[in-house]
């Protein structure tokens, strides 16, 4: 049986000034956050931002350089084994054994997680049902489609019914339909009181989280609900511009007045400006003087991607200006 925490704690995860260094490189820089029971908490950031390093520390797989983290009431630095016995973990790389049968993987992980023999049959039946693999127990795991593997890996990670589940970019490389089905499972678990801590770089997945931490170069640059981040975290206002040619417009706007940032979004441009109403006529005139035809321009609400690009661009520029 997994070791139980000696006392009930108000939050499933509490992180204070957490730091991880690899030599002179700071992978995680003074991270502070708290995650409550039953919350789906997302870590959003580009590759190399420090998301996976943080997850590995919180799972007791990597010792922090400094600071502290409590997971399920246990300190990750002083009692990592107790942490590992009270959580489920699914890495961004498929973690099961491809040469084993589906049922063999389930039995193996049940043993690793010390699932009681009295519960073993019911838990394996639940995992097969959840993964939609009922009747497919003898298939070789390596032959399964990506979405099936993903659900099987999730089933293995929660066979012991952990209170906290860590998912490190679990849907990387999986088709959109399978990703949505996977997130339906995550939401169902959260409704049953499981705390889910998930890293992702898919903006549409981030919308499913109760709260998000935006991570950039090891630092948390914003924290809040998806709606609050879109409403409050962006500097300036956002304009959508449809124009032709798009490439020349982006290049010209890098030196234009009023522009905080300019980026291509599909077949249009998103421009961050201080005052959309004042900037709109000046930008139209500026582009037309450069030989760019503007067919449409309007103020729009920012997406999470807009917020993230704005915050990281501002932070990156500020750090590059430091002596």
Which CATH number goes with the domain that contains 192? Answer: 3.40.50.300
- What is the distance between the alpha carbons of residues 257 and 149, in angstroms, rounded to a whole number? 51
Of the three residues 169, 204, 230, the one that is the final residue of a domain is 230
Helix, strand or coil for residue 224? strand
Same domain, 164 and 51: yes
DSSP state of 244: E
Same domain, 94 and 78: yes
pLDDT exceeds cutoff 70 at 4: no
Q: On the CB side of 83, how many CA atoms lie within 13 Å of its CA?
A: 24
pLDDT exceeds cutoff 90 at 166: yes
Say if 254 falls within a structural domain: yes
Same domain, 247 and 116: no
Same domain, 18 and 160: yes
Give the pair of three-digit tokens for residue 190. Answer: 């959260």
Segments forming the whole domain that contains residue 243: 235-301
Say if 140 falls within a structural domain: yes
pLDDT value of residue 132? 84
Say if 133 falls within a structural domain: yes
Same domain, 118 and 53: yes
Please state the φ and ψ torsions of residue 94, each to the nearest 5 degrees: -55, 120
DSSP state of 274: S
pLDDT value of residue 9? 44
Give the pair of three-digit tokens for residue 41. Answer: 């908490």
Same domain, 114 and 242: no
Mean pLDDT of 194-199: 94
Token pair 């931002």: residue: 49
Alpha helices in the chain (DSSP H): 51-58, 80-85, 102-112, 117-130, 146-157, 176-191, 203-206, 226-232, 246-253, 276-289, 304-321
pLDDT value of residue 87? 94
Question: DSSP of 73-116, one letter per residue?
Answer: TEETTT-HHHHHHTEEEE-SS--S-TTSBHHHHHHHHHHHTT--
pLDDT digits (tens, 9 = 90+) for 71-110: 999 999 999 999 998 999 998 666 789 999 999 999 999 9
- What is the distance between the alpha carbons of residues 240 and 300, in angstroms, rounded to a whole number? 6
Global pTM reads 0.83
pLDDT value of residue 320? 46
Helix, strand or coil for residue 124? helix
Length of the chain: 323
Same domain, 31 and 94: yes
Say if 319 falls within a structural domain: no
The CATH number assigned to the domain holding 259 equals: 3.30.70.100
Same domain, 172 and 78: yes
Please state the φ and ψ torsions of residue 254, each to the nearest 5 degrees: -60, -25
Same domain, 132 and 276: no
The answer to whether 49 and 217 are in contact (CB under 8 A) is yes
pLDDT value of residue 314? 60
Strand order in 237-244's β-sheet?
259-265, 268-273, 237-244, 293-300
Q: How many domains does the chain have?
A: 2
Same domain, 58 and 174: yes
pLDDT value of residue 305? 86
Same domain, 219 and 116: yes
pLDDT digits (tens, 9 = 90+) for 43-75: 988 888 999 999 999 999 999 999 999 999 999
pLDDT digits (tens, 9 = 90+) for 208-241: 999 999 999 999 999 999 999 998 888 889 999 9
Same domain, 162 and 105: yes
């Amino acid at each position: 049986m997994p070791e139980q925490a000696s006392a009930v704690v108000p939050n499933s995860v509490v992180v204070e000034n957490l730091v991880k260094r690899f030599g002179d490189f700071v992978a995680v820089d003074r991270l502070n956050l708290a995650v409550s029971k039953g919350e789906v908490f997302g870590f959003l950031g580009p590759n190399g931002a420090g998301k996976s390093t943080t997850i590995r520390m919180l799972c007791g797989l990597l010792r922090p350089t400094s600071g502290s983290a409590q997971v399920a009431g246990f300190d990750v630095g002083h009692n990592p084994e107790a942490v590992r016995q009270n959580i489920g973990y699914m890495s961004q790389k498929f973690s099961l054994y491809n040469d084993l049968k589906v049922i063999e993987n389930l039995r193996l992980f049940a043993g690793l997680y010390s699932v009681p023999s009295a519960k073993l049959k019911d838990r394996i039946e639940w995992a097969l049902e959840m993964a939609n693999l009922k009747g497919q127990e003898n298939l070789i795991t390596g032959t399964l489609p990506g979405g099936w593997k993903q659900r099987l890996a999730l089933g293995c990670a929660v066979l012991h019914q952990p209170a906290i589940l860590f998912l490190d970019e679990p849907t990387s490389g999986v088709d959109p339909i399978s990703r949505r089905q996977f997130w339906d499972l995550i939401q169902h678990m959260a409704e049953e009181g499981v705390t889910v801590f998930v890293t992702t770089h898919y903006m549409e997945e981030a919308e499913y989280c109760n709260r998000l931490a935006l991570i950039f170069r090891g630092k948390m640059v914003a924290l809040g609900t998806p709606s609050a981040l879109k409403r409050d975290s962006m500097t300036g206002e956002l304009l959508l511009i449809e124009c032709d040619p798009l490439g020349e417009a982006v290049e010209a706007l890098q030196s234009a007045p009023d522009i905080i940032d300019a980026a291509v979004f599909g077949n249009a441009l998103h421009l961050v400006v201080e005052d959309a109403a004042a900037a709109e006529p000046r930008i139209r005139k500026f582009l037309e003087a450069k030989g760019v035809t503007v067919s449409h321009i309007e103020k729009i609400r920012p997406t999470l991607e807009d917020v993230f690009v704005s915050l990281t661009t501002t932070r990156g520029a500020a750090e590059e200006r430091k002596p």
